[in-house]
């Protein structure tokens, strides 16, 4: 008789919960430890559109992105809470010699001419995710599969090998995002401040992006009841204080890009710290100590957590439950 392994996942953002599900699907008993309530997790702030933003070209990253695109597209077709496939227009200002490195993950990307100041316009379909219902759906699936999600903050990753109310385990997954900087003693981890504005949706269905706007990154991502206007990508700030001047500038750029937003009432704003890492995401296993216990890391996804989550979850699950 084969004994089911026990695995603890530390972190209940999109990386942690997708990982927990994939590990569970490979036959493990899973406990998820989360330091914060769901509404305080940075994943809830994300615009959550499939797009490898500020992510360098890398074969592993492309594989993770391709896998995640396919999973999210399937979930959209199945009516999973918060997941929708949306047409996307990406405007390019630089000279545009070829499709971007991530194009093959999408499948339907077409390059169109564009009027100045743009050199080209990319049209493709991208999954978008409303994170509050989606994280709830992921949480419920973990629990329905026999897993536990516990509110418990760890001061050291070694603590996670003995989760509350359970016997010690041999495998821990570190999906702690920004907290991995001190928990994993990784100086490459750093916060990148992101600021978005939410307005009522005047009937938009297409996402529009101009990342090369000289005034700042500009994107318009419609959802069911609102539109996410962005944004900022600022590694120089680690505060989450309201910033009215930045909010006004974001709205002005987005209205210039999509004039139909001019009369859309402002519903609020969201500010969060993306868990970035110099050198890209860390997804690998190491021996935790001399006893053979394993610590598997999955953090440092920056602004591409939703874009890479399911691909990384597959890789971590194979490391956690081989065979």
pLDDT digits (tens, 9 = 90+) for 6-33: 999 999 999 999 999 999 999 999 999 9
pLDDT digits (tens, 9 = 90+) for 30-67: 999 999 876 667 777 778 899 998 999 999 999 999 99
Q: Which of these ranges, 52-56, 146-150, 261-265, has the smallest mean pLDDT?
A: 52-56
Whether the pLDDT of residue 95 is over 90: the answer is: no
pLDDT digits (tens, 9 = 90+) for 178-198: 999 999 999 999 999 999 999
List the one residue out of 180, 151, 184, 186 whose CA is nearest residue 165. 151
Q: Where are the beta strands (DSSP E) in the chain?
A: 6-10, 29-34, 83-92, 110-112, 120-129, 148-151, 171-174, 189-200, 207-210, 218-222, 226-230, 266-277, 282-287, 294-299
Provide the pLDDT for residue 177: 96
Provide the pLDDT for residue 37: 78
259 vs 190: CA distance, rounded Å: 35
* Percent above pLDDT 70 for the chain: 96
List the one residue out of 261, 257, 254, 309 whose CA is nearest residue 67. 309
Mean residue pLDDT across the chain: 94
Task: Give the CATH number of domain 6-320.
Answer: 3.50.50.60
3-state secondary structure of 271: strand
290 vs 312: CA distance, rounded Å: 27
Kindly state the average pLDDT of the residues 291-304: 94
Here the tokens at position 128 are 């978008």
If one counts every other C-beta atom within 10 angstroms of the C-beta of residue 132, the result is 15
By DSSP bridging, strand 171-174 and strand 294-299 are: parallel
The residue count of the chain comes to 323
3-state secondary structure of 54: coil
Whether the pLDDT of residue 1 is over 60: the answer is: no
Determine contact, residues 68/60, Cβ cutoff 8 Å: no
Provide the pLDDT for residue 2: 45
Kindly state the average pLDDT of the residues 244-249: 97
12 vs 32: CA distance, rounded Å: 7
Terminal-residue alpha carbon distance, the chain = 16
Counting DSSP H helices and E strands in the chain, the numbers are 7, 14
3-state secondary structure of 45: helix
* Percent above pLDDT 90 for the chain: 88
pLDDT digits (tens, 9 = 90+) for 102-121: 999 998 999 999 999 999 99
Kindly state the average pLDDT of the residues 72-90: 97
Provide the pLDDT for residue 242: 92
**Predicted confidence band at 316 (pLDDT cuts at 50, 70, 90)?**
very high
Provide the pLDDT for residue 3: 55
298 vs 200: CA distance, rounded Å: 35
pTM: 0.95
4 vs 170: CA distance, rounded Å: 12
Provide the pLDDT for residue 4: 67
Q: What is the DSSP letter of 278?
A: T
Whether the pLDDT of residue 291 is over 80: the answer is: no
Kindly state the average pLDDT of the residues 216-238: 95
Whether the pLDDT of residue 77 is over 70: the answer is: yes
Q: What is the DSSP letter of 27?
A: T
Contacts (Cβ under 8 Å, ≥6 apart) of 151: 34, 35, 36, 37
153 vs 164: CA distance, rounded Å: 11
């Amino acid at each position: 008789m084969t004994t089911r392994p026990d695995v603890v996942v530390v972190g209940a953002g999109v990386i942690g919960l997708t990982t927990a599900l994939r590990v569970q699907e490979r036959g493990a008993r899973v406990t998820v430890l989360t330091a914060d309530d769901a509404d305080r997790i940075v994943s809830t702030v994300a615009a959550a559109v499939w797009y490898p933003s500020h992510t360098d070209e890398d074969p592993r990253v492309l594989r993770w992105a391709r896998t995640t695109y396919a999973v999210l597209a399937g979930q959209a077709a199945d009516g999973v809470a918060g997941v929708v496939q949306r047409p996307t227009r990406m405007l390019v200002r630089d000279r545009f010699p070829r499709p971007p490195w991530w194009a093959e993950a999408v499948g339907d990307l077409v390059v169109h001419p564009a009027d100045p100041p743009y050199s080209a316009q990319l049209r493709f379909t991208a999954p978008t995710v409303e994170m509050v219902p989606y994280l709830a759906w992921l949480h419920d699936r973990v629990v329905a599969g026999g897993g536990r999600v516990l509110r418990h903050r760890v001061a050291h990753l070694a603590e996670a090998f003995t989760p509350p109310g359970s016997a010690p385990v041999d495998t821990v997954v570190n999906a702690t995002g920004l907290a991995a900087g001190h928990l994993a003693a990784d100086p490459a981890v750093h916060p990148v401040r992101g600021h978005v504005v939410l307005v009522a949706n005047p009937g938009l269905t297409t996402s529009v992006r101009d990342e090369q706007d000289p005034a700042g990154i500009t994107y318009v991502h419609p959802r069911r009841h609102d539109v996410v206007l962005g944004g900022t990508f600022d590694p120089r700030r680690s505060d989450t204080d309201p910033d009215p001047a930045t909010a006004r500038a974001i709205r002005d750029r987005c209205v210039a890009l999509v004039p139909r937003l001019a009369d859309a009432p402002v519903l609020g704003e969201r500010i969060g710290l993306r868990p970035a890492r110099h050198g890209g995401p860390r997804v690998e296993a190491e021996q935790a100590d001399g006893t053979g216990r394993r610590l598997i890391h999955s953090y440092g996804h920056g602004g591409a957590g939703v874009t890479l989550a399911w691909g990384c979850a597959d890789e971590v699950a194979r490391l956690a439950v081989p065979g």
